[in-house]
């Protein structure tokens, strides 16, 4: 399938990209796709990790890694009438820095931490437009103001690490638009950002697109964002285009089962299914990965008819999932009672100055046994600091946390050690929370040994294998390393590590925020199954309001380190009382609601 449109600024034809698996083996990441990006329009390229969408954009920019090759010599990437694949390297670099620009997914990895913001934006202007340092600084100030950086005269001399995630992304946008490009490629520019910051970034890109007459290629795995910004939508899976059309058609009446699956896997503010549908529920267990439907003759036609029937039955079952009730009751057994929790940090100012910063201000709540407390708020609201303080990964500045009648925050280290097993944490980034030098077996067995769980290593290995099976991982994973697994699989390993401690409370800190919607659905279903089976209690920290509503019984909203509202999940979404809660809900993308 292709997505060809009249009046195109960018024309991609028969693009096939392969990468080396080892010395003898290659695998195709992109399988002969064709699509167009019209002038002055926004085209969304949608798909899960591994779909080939980011690789396709890197091919346009000429940034493919060394182990990748363009397979088809007839492939073509034409921009404004010029064939990019035939341009000399120097000409292509100049073109891609000036007329085509790219915003990368992770600004902290893309911005150089040892250079100021002003230097990095100014470098683009000096290199491509030949500006002097003084001219570049003046223009940089204008750009920082245009993208909404507060106090640009101050921030121009700041380093990336001194800015928030949203401000870092704005700096990346300033660098991208510095030379007034005709095409802006935005690769997951809002992933893992708060809903309010996400809305601001989307509004900023849309405004710049209108004012500057740019074309935008917007790459994302979240169909909820697509309805907010895109004119055209292209859905990819396994290196192939599954569906293409206008945003209204693809989101309102999708023809492909995979597109419908992506739409339904995403939690919604409207309802709460007992379990979220996953891709397999719509495509059927036997559907060929990434393949197109159809056949030739005889037995193949009959097999395809049977496959079609199985897929239709899977889709009917997925859409008939019953709803789940949530909430708390006055007589619920309270497992954790937090009262007046405070956490302050001392910040240095200048050579000798100090300033106290209150990250958590007088937070109180109760967590019922077997229930989930959702904690929402923007970056800087104190929600993660609150969770880490409960785990004593930060030293508290005041307050108490009663667990089985004992104050966790006041216990001596020796007495607190047994409680480390009973209250565990799943961190946001599974790529950073698993030791890359340990096999999965070592990762699972080490905490068991420290807490003397299991009689010997043979019993611990048996327990580790059981845990892997419980979280849907194969036994062979025990002898492999974290880098051999996807993000969703790593998060499952992190959950298995926590379960090995037989905890009673799990603090989930943005544990699904950076995952594809289908993988996110699998992890959320797993967490729900584990809670039902073991009676676990969750403190679920997230900025994603739909995810929080799906999994939470009660929700606590934090702003500036303080609790501004607490209510049962349905009541809070139905009748938010605090203006900040209402602003969070209004910022939620409703492109497919």
* String of DSSP letters for 130-143: ---HHHHHHHHHHH
Give one word for 163, left, alpha or beta, with left for phi > 0 and alpha for psi -120 to 50. beta
Residues 462 and 429 in one domain: yes
CA–CA distances in Å: residue 357 to residues 361, 386, 397, 588: 10, 14, 11, 29
Residue 459 counted as domain residue: yes
Q: What is the pLDDT of residue 294?
A: 39
Contact by Cβ (8 Å): 443, 467: no
Contact by Cβ (8 Å): 342, 360: yes
Q: Give the end of a domain, one of 126, 152, 180.
A: 180
Residues 411 and 298 in one domain: no
Instruction: Indicate which CATH number applies to the domain containing 574.
Output: 3.40.50.300
Q: What is the pLDDT of residue 94?
A: 87
Residues 429 and 480 in one domain: yes
Q: Are strands 82-83 and 76-79 parallel, antiparallel or unpaired?
A: antiparallel
User: Residue 172: what are its φ and ψ, rounded to 5°?
Assistant: -60, -40
Residues 369 and 430 in one domain: yes
Residues 425 and 451 in one domain: yes
Residues 409 and 505 in one domain: yes
Residue 521 counted as domain residue: yes
CA–CA distances in Å: residue 331 to residues 256, 327, 328, 338: 48, 12, 9, 17
Residue 240 counted as domain residue: no
CA 166/CA 145 separation, integer angstroms: 14
**Gyration radius from the chain CA atoms:** 25
Q: What's the residue count for the chain? A: 593
Among the residues of 370-456, which ranges form H helices? 383-390, 413-422, 430-433, 440-450
Q: What is the DSSP letter of 85?
A: G
Q: What is the pLDDT of residue 297?
A: 47
CA 134/CA 141 separation, integer angstroms: 11
Helix (H, G, I), strand (E, B) or coil at 23: coil
Q: Are strands 423-426 and 26-38 parallel, antiparallel or unpaired?
A: unpaired
Range of the domain at 401: 336-586
Contact by Cβ (8 Å): 152, 174: no
CA 406/CA 362 separation, integer angstroms: 19
Neighbours of 58 (CB within 10 A): 17
Residues 426 and 492 in one domain: yes
Instruction: Determine the number of helices (DSSP H) and then strands (DSSP E) in the chain.
Output: 23, 22
256-272 as b/e: b if 16+ CB within 10 A: bbbbbbbbbbbbbeeeb
Residues 554 and 516 in one domain: yes
Q: What is the pLDDT of residue 320?
A: 60
CA 195/CA 243 separation, integer angstroms: 27
CA 518/CA 48 separation, integer angstroms: 8
Q: What is the pLDDT of residue 314?
A: 57
Residue 19 counted as domain residue: no
Residues 430 and 489 in one domain: yes
Q: What is the pLDDT of residue 23?
A: 77
Residues 303 and 344 in one domain: no
Q: Give the end of a domain, one of 159, 180, 201.
A: 180
Number of domains in the chain: 3
CA 347/CA 325 separation, integer angstroms: 45
Residue 73 counted as domain residue: no
**Residue in 434, 462, 460, 465 with CA at minimum distance from that of residue 448:** 460
Check the CA dihedral 268-273-275-281 and report its sign.
negative
Q: For helices 257-265 and 517-534, give the axis angle rounded to 10 degrees.
A: 50
Contact by Cβ (8 Å): 274, 286: no
What is the residue-level pLDDT of the chain in tens, covering all 593 positions?
656 555 699 999 999 999 887 778 888 999 999 999 999 999 999 988 888 998 999 999 999 888 888 888 889 999 999 999 999 989 998 898 889 999 987 776 789 999 999 999 999 999 999 999 999 999 999 999 988 888 899 999 999 888 877 788 889 999 999 998 999 999 888 876 777 878 888 888 888 888 888 999 999 888 778 888 899 999 999 999 999 999 999 999 999 989 988 888 888 877 788 888 888 887 764 433 333 333 444 555 655 565 566 556 655 655 666 777 788 999 999 999 999 999 999 877 767 788 888 999 999 999 999 999 999 998 778 999 999 999 999 999 999 999 988 999 999 999 999 899 999 999 877 778 899 999 999 999 999 999 999 999 999 999 999 999 888 889 999 999 998 887 778 888 999 999 899 899 999 998 887 777 888 888 899 899 999 988 999 999 988 888 999 999 999 999 999 999 999 999 999 999 999 999 988 887 765 55
Helix (H, G, I), strand (E, B) or coil at 48: coil
Residue 68 counted as domain residue: no
Contact by Cβ (8 Å): 545, 376: yes
Residues 456 and 566 in one domain: yes
Contact by Cβ (8 Å): 564, 557: yes
Contact by Cβ (8 Å): 368, 328: yes
Q: Give the end of a domain, one of 143, 162, 180.
A: 180
Residue 395 counted as domain residue: yes
CA 210/CA 282 separation, integer angstroms: 37
pTM score, whole prediction:
0.81
Residue 387 counted as domain residue: yes
Residues 438 and 409 in one domain: yes
């Amino acid at each position: 399938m292709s997505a060809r449109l009249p009046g195109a600024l960018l024309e991609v034809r028969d693009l096939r990209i392969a990468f080396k698996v080892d010395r003898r083996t290659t695998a195709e990441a992109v399988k002969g796709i064709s699509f167009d990006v019209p002038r002055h329009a926004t085209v969304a390229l949608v798909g899960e990790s591994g779909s080939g969408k980011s690789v396709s954009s890197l091919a346009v920019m000429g940034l493919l890694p060394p182990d990748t090759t363009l397979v088809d010599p007839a492939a073509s990437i034409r921009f404004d009438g010029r064939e990019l694949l035939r341009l000399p390297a120097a000409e292509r670099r100049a073109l891609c820095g000036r007329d085509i620009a790219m915003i990368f997914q992770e600004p902290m990895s893309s911005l150089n931490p040892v250079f100021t913001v002003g230097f990095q934006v100014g470098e683009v202007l000096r290199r491509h437009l030949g500006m002097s340092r003084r001219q570049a600084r003046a223009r940089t100030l204008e750009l920082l103001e245009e993208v909404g950086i507060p106090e640009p005269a101050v921030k121009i001399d700041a380093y990336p690490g001194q800015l928030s995630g949203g401000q870092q992304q704005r700096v990346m946008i300033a660098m991208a638009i510095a030379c007034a490009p005709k095409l802006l490629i935005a690769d997951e520019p809002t992933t893992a950002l708060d809903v309010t910051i996400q809305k601001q970034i989307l509004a900023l890109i849309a405004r710049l697109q209108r004012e500057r007459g740019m074309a935008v290629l917007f790459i994302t795995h979240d169909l909820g964002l697509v309805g907010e910004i895109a004119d055209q939508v292209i859905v990819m899976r396994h290196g192939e285009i599954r569906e293409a059309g206008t945003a209204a058609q693809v989101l309102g009446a999708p023809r492909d089962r995979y597109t419908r699956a992506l739409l339904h896997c995403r939690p919604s503010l409207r309802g709460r299914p007992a379990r979220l549908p996953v891709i397999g529920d719509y495509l059927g267990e036997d559907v060929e990965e990434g393949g197109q439907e159809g056949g030739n003759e005889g037995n193949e036609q009959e097999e395809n008819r049977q496959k079609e029937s199985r897929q239709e039955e899977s889709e009917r079952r997925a859409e008939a999932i019953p709803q789940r009730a949530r909430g708390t009751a006055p007589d619920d057994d309270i497992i954790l009672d937090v009262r007046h929790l405070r956490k302050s940090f001392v910040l240095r100012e200048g050579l000798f100055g100090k300033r106290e910063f209150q990250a958590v201000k007088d937070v109180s709540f109760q967590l019922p046994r077997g229930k989930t407390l959702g904690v929402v708020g923007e970056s800087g609201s104190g929600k993660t600091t609150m969770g880490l303080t409960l785990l004593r990964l930060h030293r508290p500045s005041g307050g108490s946390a009663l667990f089985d009648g004992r104050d966790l925050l006041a216990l001596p280290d020796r007495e607190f050690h047994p409680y480390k097993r009973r209250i565990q944490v799943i961190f946001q980034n599974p790529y950073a929370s698993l030791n890359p030098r340990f096999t999965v077996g070592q990762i699972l067995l080490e905490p068991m040994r420290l807490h003397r769980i299991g009689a010997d290593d043979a019993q611990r290995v048996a327990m580790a294998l059981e845990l892997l099976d419980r979280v849907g991982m194969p036994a062979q994973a025990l002898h492999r390393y974290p880098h051999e697994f996807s993000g969703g699989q790593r998060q499952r390993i992190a959950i298995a590590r926590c379960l090995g401690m037989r905890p009673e409370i799990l603090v989930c800190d943005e544990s699904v925020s950076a995952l594809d919607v289908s993988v996110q659905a699998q992890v959320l279903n797993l967490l729900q199954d584990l809670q039902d089976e073991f009676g676990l209690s969750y403190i679920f920290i997230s900025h994603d309001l739909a995810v929080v509503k799906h999994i939470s019984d009660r929700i606590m909203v934090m702003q500036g380190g303080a609790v501004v509202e607490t209510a049962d999940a349905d009541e809070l979404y139905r009748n938010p009382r605090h203006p900040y809660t209402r602003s969070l809900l209004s910022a939620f993308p409703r492109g497919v609601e």
